Amino acid sequence: MATTTQPAESHAPAAQAAGSQVDLAWIEKKIPYRRYQECVHCGLCTASCPTYLETRDENDSPRGRIYLMRAVVDGRLAMGPGVREHLELCLDCRACESACPSGVRYGHMIEPFKIALHQAAAPGSDSGLIERFLMRNVFPYRDRVKLALAPARILQRMGILDWSERSGLTKLLPGTLQRLTGMLPRLKRGEGALPEILPPIGPRRARVGLFLGCVGDAMLPATTHATARVLQHNGCEVVVPRGQGCCGAIHYHSGSEAPALELARKNIDVFQKAGVDAIVVNAAGCGAMLKDYAHILASSDGEPAAQFTAKVKDVCEFLAALGPVAPTGHVDLVATYHDACHLCHAQQVRAQPRSLLAMVPGLELVPLEESEICCGAAGTYNLTQPEMAERLGNRKLDNVEATGAKTVLTGNVGCILQIARHARARGMDLEVAHPIDILDRAYQAK
């Protein structure tokens, strides 16, 4: 693919090409033109881009997509099916940002472009009705997800789901429901809702707000409770503000910008009233979105959003900065660690989870090849781009198998569900958990 570019003055909303089908004026407001020019097309990002590694198509690389986006904005290229396909195939894992020597903020370009693509798509063309309904009306709402999971929990307990998968009956379901069924973890009854305030164990060192999220808390409630206990063991008074909601990422990345911004403003207000020193989150995708509130919200929200984002910390990031209390209980296992994309690339949190795990007596952490390459979960990507998600999931499991580890640890619910699903498909006896789950075991072990 050629890498020559038009001069900056050639871009304009009036230059919208026939068939472009996206609101270029809106895009121009969201993406300063200098963003495209910051990319010098050196290609250092290609080795870290999961889709390029799989397809070897330059159009599926970060620099290739930036070239495509700029060409559309300049009016030199129509937003046809081919261009749309290359842009939608992007995982938005932001590995290219970690690799880029020029500091290109790729995520701040591809995210608005994807919103514009969703908004411009004809009904039924961007994703199935089931996908759109779930992503906009179920997944972002914790209580609705829990309600939707209740029948699945009963079917699991009765063994009907396992039988259906073994017999191939689940293949009769629509594709989206097939993939969702395959992603389901072993659903257990939760420990109930956390109280609004949990006292610290020992002298109080901080007052923190715990962000619950939506899918993560509904699917893996034990990890939510483990996070609260670990914070308590580290001298934190834990506040669980009522009224908090989804971080907005599911709406935002499926093209529903207005509901995402409404959720952002609501969360800012709720946690501001809680009067906490830090806002702690245990899901990498949620943390990346929360830290981006000051960017996605209008300038009128600037000060409250900036104050909010300054307090947002991944739980491992927060504990490492606080100075963690070393656990004394043994957890004897051999584990490997997968870097969740929105933790290591979007938040630049890499060493902290490993340093916490290094404190656990009995735990042996073995290195994982391509640890920072996406596993294919990427929020709802494994629903909207199942073929590429499958390829990346298999790539990740090949590397996991090579470690010989019996446990994979990672800091994002999507990664946990994706890796566990592929492990089950291979018949692997593999535990997939959050680092905080292991730390919690160590604190509770005698």
189 or 89: which leads in pLDDT: 89
292, 260 in Cβ contact below 8 A? no
Read off the pLDDT band of 5 (50, 70, 90).
very low
DSSP state of 256: -
The 10 Å Cβ neighbour count of residue 244 is: 21
Mean pLDDT of 118-128: 58
In a 3-state reduction of DSSP, which class is residue 444?
helix
Say if residues 433 and 407 touch (Cβ distance below 8 Å).
Answer: yes
CB 337 within 8 A of CB 409: yes
Strand pairing report for 236-239 and 197-198: antiparallel
Predicted confidence band at 376 (pLDDT cuts at 50, 70, 90)? very high
Ranges of each domain in the chain: 17-120, 129-183, 197-321, 328-444
Alpha-carbon distance 211 to 11, whole Å? 41
Can you give the pLDDT at residue 437?
Answer: 97
Residue 141: the pLDDT is 76
Number of CB atoms found within 10 A of residue 432's CB: 23
Mean pLDDT of 138-146: 78
DSSP-derived secondary structure for 2-26: ------GGG--GGGPPTT--S-HHH
Residues contacting residue 2 through CB under 8 Å, at least 6 positions apart: none
- Give pLDDT tens digits for 350-375: 999 999 999 999 999 999 999 999 99
pLDDT tier, 4 (very low <50, low <70, confident <90, very high otherwise)? very low
Query: Which of 19-28, 132-141, 184-193, 324-333 is the most confident on average?
Result: 324-333
Which has more pLDDT, 297 or 10? 297
- DSSP string for residues in 293-309: HHHHS-GGGHHHHHHHH
Q: Could you tell me which CATH class the domain 17-120 is placed in?
A: mainly alpha
Dihedral, 376, 379, 384, 388 alpha carbons, nearest 10? -10
Please say whether the beta carbons of 351 and 319 come within 8 A: no
Identify the residue with better confidence: 327 or 117. Answer: 327
Given a cut of 80, whether residue 127 has pLDDT beyond it is: no
Report d(CA 38, CA 402) in Å as an integer. Answer: 39
| DSSP bridge pairs for 337 | 409
Question: In which region does residue 152 sit, left (phi positive, over 0), alpha (psi from -120 to 50) or beta (all else)?
Answer: alpha
What's the rounded mean pLDDT across residues 431-443? 97
Q: Look over the chain and give the mean of its residue pLDDT values, rounded to a whole number.
A: 88
Secondary structure letter of residue 169 according to DSSP = G
**Residues of the chain above pLDDT 90, percent:** 65
Neighbours of 72 (CB within 10 A): 27
Average pLDDT over residues 188-196: 81
Mean pLDDT (whole number) for 240-264 = 90
Confidence band of 270 (pLDDT split at 50, 70, 90): very high
* Most confidently modeled range among 8-17, 289-298, 392-401: 392-401
Q: Which CATH architecture has domain 197-321?
A: 3-Layer(aba) Sandwich (3.40)
- DSSP codes joined into one string, 15-80: GPPTT--S-HHHHHHHS-THHHHH-----TTGGG-HHHHHH--GGGSHHHHHHHHHHHHHTSS---
> What CA–CA distance (Å, rounded) separates 156 from 139?
20
Predicted pLDDT at 446? 66
Tokens of 444: 């509770």
Residue 154 is predicted with a pLDDT of: 78
pLDDT in tens, 36-66: 999 999 999 999 999 999 999 999 999 999 9
17-120 and 197-321 share one CATH topology?
A: no
326 pLDDT tier (thresholds 50, 70, 90): very high
Q: Report residue 177's pLDDT band, with 50, 70 and 90 as the boundaries.
A: confident
At 121 the pLDDT is 65
Amino acid letter, residue 292: D
CB neighbourhood size of 424 (10 A): 17
Q: What is the mean pLDDT of residues 417-444?
A: 95
pLDDT tens per residue, range 259-268: 999 999 999 9
Third-level CATH fold of 328-444: Rossmann fold (3.40.50)
Tens of pLDDT along 196-215? 999 999 999 999 999 999 88
DSSP string, 76-96: SS---HHHHHHHHT-----HH
Closest listed residue to residue 81, CA positions, set 132, 127, 117, 36: 117
Average pLDDT over residues 179-203: 82
